[in-house]
A and B are shown apart, each in its own frame.
Chain A
């Protein structure tokens, strides 16, 4: 994590460590340069505006060294130019502040999956198997018919397994800007209900737990 805001990066690290990721933090561009030279990372979270340099410069150097580290750009600017430049320089994803930690976690998971498990495109949670390439879900080897939204929801929840994910985070993940209109969350609720029903009907255990009015948790 290359980010100068200590409190922010602390929270990010704490959340990601719950997923058993090993996190290292660099607060400055020079610290970051030292670390990327010495080690290979599965995923680098890169803030663009650093006190001693531009994050895009680090990205450029990384790619010039021929490193295959996954990179997610994190920026407060959310400017189209930065996004285009970043992605052109070889960043894998782009996340603008403020973001939900479950969203970050899901993006990190996606990047790591792409980088590490080349060829192996299946993600499993107990008896549930998600085929990332075919975008299909199997329970005990049997096919479960899910809508696009339900599939995305399941993937999001599994990426944040064992952690509470708020309804807002889910709404934003599923609907993007349209989440603004979803004040009553009936929308999320119906997707959750359908997903739960389809999974249990296919023979899976009910892993989807409601945490008060707050959100949901996918846990064994």
Chain B
């Protein structure tokens, strides 16, 4: 559930309770006010009636007139008390309305009065608003209120989530798409909302710091590899000189051989590490149209004799395919894949290279992997302790595919199949 929906839900619930509660409250308070008003009016009417009556006390037949009035008037009743004493009081009564054929509420004031020394009871009544109608009216108004409130809140909510939350979602989307080794830095928009600006600042600082650490590490690998090149060159040079010694015994020669093999391995490792950081540092930006078949052709001519040493047969199915990419990277990619296919093969095995519509398939016979497929493309993950393998070849392949946006897939199906989709 979204944050805004959550707050909206609480707001709506509160508004609903309030509105529902307000119906009886308004009803009672409105009828109370109405009663009070009516009572005041009735009180006034009653005292006015009595004071006006005082002007007619000289009439001899007032008694008869009052009786007539009692019969004629609908709202004023005055009749002899016949010994009953009624204290002055207000009450709400129901009176049958013959025109509407229903009972209607009336407010009535009754009190004992004395006219010309005779006790009378005076009742004056006024029509009240029908309770049902009052409830209906209030309910209608309140329902309308609820509808307007909900509609308004929903509308505001929507425009809020569009407007106010826009920078938030933009930051989230940037974070989702963020890749440490690709993006420069996250640049959130200024929102002028304290919380969001705070969040954005923190996110920016975090990604900046991560990126700096990442770059330093990248630089470190490159620098370390560079720095190692010179001592390696010295080491190799001294070995080359040592070989010239005329007093060299066969045992010495053996040791020099082994040292040279180690030196070769170190330089190869170092070279591959350097290559990886160079790809990382995007030092292969120049792109051109490269014909895959041409690159492959040259490569296979050179590798054919090498493969033949282990009686590995290379089959090649060419197809015209142009790729727009960095030529050195493509060469390295193809070299590494084919080297890999030759190295991890059995004697007398097969390597098949096929160019398809927009893809290149390189398959080779060989036993299935012991390690997982994902691990295969990691740095320094080796199946065998083969001294000839640096464990970086496929990591470089993966890196090149990532950099050039090629899709690399691997599957085992009676042989290893690598597919690069350009």
Residues of A bordering B, CB below 8 Å: 5, 7-8, 11-12, 14-15, 18, 76-81, 96-102, 163-164, 166, 168-169, 175, 177-178, 180-184, 186-187, 211-215
Give bound CA distance, A181 to B343, whole Å: 7
Jot down 10 A-B pairs with beta carbons below 8 A, ordered by A: A8-B233, A11-B240, A15-B240, A101-B241, A178-B302, A178-B339, A180-B339, A181-B342, A183-B387, A184-B309
* Segment touching A, from B29-37, B251-259, B355-363: B251-259
Tell whether, in the assembled complex, residue B257 and residue A213 are in contact, meaning their CB atoms are under 8 Å apart: yes
Which residues of chain B are near A211, meaning CB under 8 Å?
A: 243, 248, 253
Chain B residues with a Cβ under 8 A of chain A: 226-227, 229-230, 232-241, 243-244, 248, 250, 253-254, 256-257, 260-261, 263-264, 267-268, 271, 274, 278, 283-284, 302-303, 305-306, 309, 328, 335, 339, 342-343, 387-388
**B233 near A98: Cβ-Cβ < 8 Å:** yes
> Which residues from chain A contact B236 at a C-beta distance below 8 Å?
98-101
Chain A residues with Cβ below 8 Å from B235 are: 98
Please determine whether B305 and A100 come into contact, CB atoms closer than 8 angstroms: no
Closest 9 CB pairs of A and B: A11-B237, A76-B229, A101-B240, A212-B253, A98-B233, A98-B232, A97-B233, A97-B229, A164-B243
Assess the B243–A8 pair: CB atoms within 8 A. Answer: no
Are B230 and A97 in contact (CB-based, < 8 A)? yes
State the Cβ distance, B38 to closest chain A Cβ, in Å: 100
The verdict on A99 contacting B244 (CB below 8 Å), with A181-B343, A213-B254, A214-B257 known, is no
Residue of B nearest to A160 (CB): B240
Residue of A nearest to B278 (CB): A79
Q: A213: which B residues are within 8 A, CB to CB?
A: 253-254, 257
Closest residue to A99 on the B side, CB-wise? B233
Chain B residues contacting A79 (CB-CB under 8 Å) are: 278, 283
Cβ–Cβ < 8 Å partners of A8 in chain B? 230, 233-234, 237
| CB pair B306 A181 closer than 8 Å | yes
Which B residues touch A98, using CB under 8 A? 229-230, 232-233, 235-236, 263, 267
> Contact check: which of B274, B303, B309, B339 meets A78 at CB < 8 Å?
B274
Cβ contact within 8 Å between B243 and A187: no
Do A18 and B244 form a contact, CB below 8 Å, given A178-B302, A178-B303, A214-B253? Answer: yes
**Contact of A96 with B388 at beta-carbon distance under 8 Å, contacts A168-B260, A177-B335 already known:** no
Closest chain A residue to B227, Cβ basis: A76
Q: Which of A14, A80, A98, A184 has the largest count of B CB atoms less than 10 A from its CB? A: A98
A175 lies within 8 A of B302 (CB): yes
Using CB atoms, name the residue of chain B closest to A172.
Answer: B264
Known: A15-B237, A178-B303, A212-B248. 15 other contacts (CB 8 A): A77-B226, A98-B232, A98-B236, A101-B236, A101-B240, A177-B335, A178-B339, A181-B303, A181-B339, A181-B343, A181-B388, A211-B248, A212-B250, A213-B253, A214-B256
